[in-house]
A = this chain, B = another copy of it.
Amino acid sequence: MKQIRPTESELEILGILWEKGPSTVREVHDILSQTKDAGYTTTLKLMQIMHEKELLQRDTSSKTHVYTAAISQQTTQQQLLNKMIDTVFGGSASQLVMQALGQHKSSEEELDKIRQYLSDMEKQQKKNR
């Protein structure tokens, strides 16, 4: 599998694009600058570099270019998770899961989704026996 390694800043931009879909530099920058202190050209440059690295696609048909994430959120999530489980959680996925549930106060609705998910996994497993 091709290992992608977006930097911290690049992940922030990807996160915005995953959430909002195709966007201009201006749109991304406006969101980014709510939590971060950097000039417009900085965001622009980052996104241009990300395009070179093929982390982003862009549509240049109009003057104001429109960027889209070129790597999937799922794949990226999986790779980051795996690395994190290995280095920070001593290889234990359940450790990570419990830590995540523990603090980041999940709503009752979210917890239900997870229970549902677990029981589905269980069924699946019995079937394959």
- Which residue numbers of A lie inside 8 Å of B, CB to CB? 11-12, 14-15, 18-19, 73-74, 76-78, 80-82, 84-90, 92-94, 96-101, 103-104, 106, 108, 110-111, 113-115, 117-118, 121-122, 125
Contact = CB atoms under 8 A, between A and B. Distances in A.
Contact of A98 (B12, B90, B113): B113
Copies per complex?
A: 2
A10 to B, nearest CB: 10
A121 B19 CA distance: 30
Nearest to A74: B99
Nearest to A13: B87
Contacts of A103: 78, 81-82
Interface of A is mostly: helix
A97 B77 CA distance: 11
30 contacts: A11-B87, A11-B88, A15-B90, A19-B90, A73-B88, A74-B99, A77-B88, A78-B99, A81-B84, A81-B96, A81-B99, A81-B100, A81-B103, A82-B104, A84-B84, A92-B110, A93-B110, A94-B106, A94-B110, A94-B113, A94-B114, A97-B97, A97-B100, A97-B114, A98-B113, A98-B114, A98-B117, A101-B117, A108-B125, A111-B121
